[in-house]
Amino acid sequence: MTSGFQSSLESGTFTVTAEIAPPRGADPDAIGRKVAPLRGWVAAVNVTDNQSAVVRMSSLAASRLALAAGVEPIMQVTCRDRNRIALQSDLLGACGLGIPNILMMTGDHPRFGDHADAMPVFDLDSIQLLWVARTMRDEHRLLSGRNLAWPPSWFLGAVENPFAPPTEFRAARLGKKIAAGAQFVQTQYVFDVTAFERWMTQVRDLGLDGRCHVLAGVGPIMSARALGHLQHEVPGVHIPREVARRLLAVPASRVADEGIKVCAETISQLRHITGVAGVHIMAAGNEQLIPDILRLAGLDRGACRAG
């Protein structure tokens, strides 16, 4: 099992990934419709795992459907809903189905989702699960100590938020995830490029950029309501005043266009920061806009991925 995404990063190509949410239903064609506009533009697509604690098609099934639709998946796995037995079982199942990339997350608490009375599990956290997956892959054994007759192979990833307080410890926290097994990391939305560059300076000072591929999270703000949501309801997202003023200075009918321009300009700036291996575009429900964003940022089809 090989990862084209991994090959792209290791080649030094500025690599682009995108994020899709599985459907709130069992439609097997929904994934194909979401990934179709991205084919040839991205190295891989993140498939979320009941994001925001809201029930959707499983990330395992949706990842396999993305693979069948011709786009390499990055299967997200959260610790919220499963204990260590189920987590290891799903990881083995992913490998058996040919899913080459896994991204570990602790996950949002159920109280924030559509089943607020659900029992949270959190048997492991993301760093512990990274260590478990790396042990399964490299040492050929389960957390119980039992050997694996057919060890899995994965390209392992994590998430990081450079802007969450206390900011002075965020680079060191990334170091813990790398020590546990993270080979790539995708960050929270970057709107404040100056603050992100300060974090990247700390990452480079610790030598972490040579041990892990950093993809900066970006995304278009499509409405004034979305701006307010990001400003007040999404932890760790910092939107500079000049960006907010720019979006609110145009008529409501043009906020989306301005948000797309801001996103493209941000990508262009991030390309010049040493240690940034690529970007991860989060445009939930607007995946069809990603090619236009990349064109505005100066990236052509096929230029942001290997092969």
Note the pLDDT of residue 306: 38
Q: Does residue 301 fall inside a structural domain?
A: no
Alpha-carbon dihedral 78, 84, 85, 86, rounded to 10 degrees: -10
- pLDDT, tens only, 282-306: 998 899 999 999 999 999 886 665 3
Q: Which ranges in 151-219 belong to alpha helices (H)?
A: 170-180, 193-205
Note the pLDDT of residue 303: 60
pTM: predicted TM-score of the whole model, two decimal places:
0.95
Side chain identity at 244, as an amino acid letter?
A: A
Low-confidence ranges of the chain (pLDDT < 70): 302-307
Q: Does residue 185 fall inside a structural domain?
A: yes
Instruction: Please tell me the total count of domains within the chain.
Output: 1
Note the pLDDT of residue 2: 83
Report the distance separating Cα 179 and Cα 256, nearest Å.
40
Q: Which residue has the tokens 């029992």?
A: 119
Q: Does residue 305 fall inside a structural domain?
A: no
Q: Does residue 245 fall inside a structural domain?
A: yes
Note the pLDDT of residue 304: 61
Tell how strand 101-105 and strand 73-78 pair up: parallel
Q: Does residue 302 fall inside a structural domain?
A: no
Q: Does residue 160 fall inside a structural domain?
A: yes
Note the pLDDT of residue 281: 98
Q: Does residue 11 fall inside a structural domain?
A: yes
**Under a CB-based contact definition with an 8 Å cutoff, are residues 178 and 210 in contact?**
no
Q: Does residue 262 fall inside a structural domain?
A: yes
Backbone angles phi, psi at 270, to 5 degrees: -65, -30
Q: Is 16 left (phi over 0), alpha (psi -120 to 50) or beta?
A: beta
- pLDDT, tens only, 134-182: 999 999 999 999 999 999 999 999 999 999 888 899 999 999 999 999 9
Query: For residue 217, what are the contacts with CB-CB under 8 A and spacing of at least 6?
Result: 186, 187, 188, 189, 190, 279, 280, 282
Report the distance separating Cα 262 and Cα 246, nearest Å.
9
CATH number of the domain where residue 217 is located: 3.20.20.220
Residue span of the structural domain in which 278 resides: 4-296
- Cis ω for the linkage preceding 166 (within 30 of 0): yes
Report the distance separating Cα 97 and Cα 92, nearest Å.
9
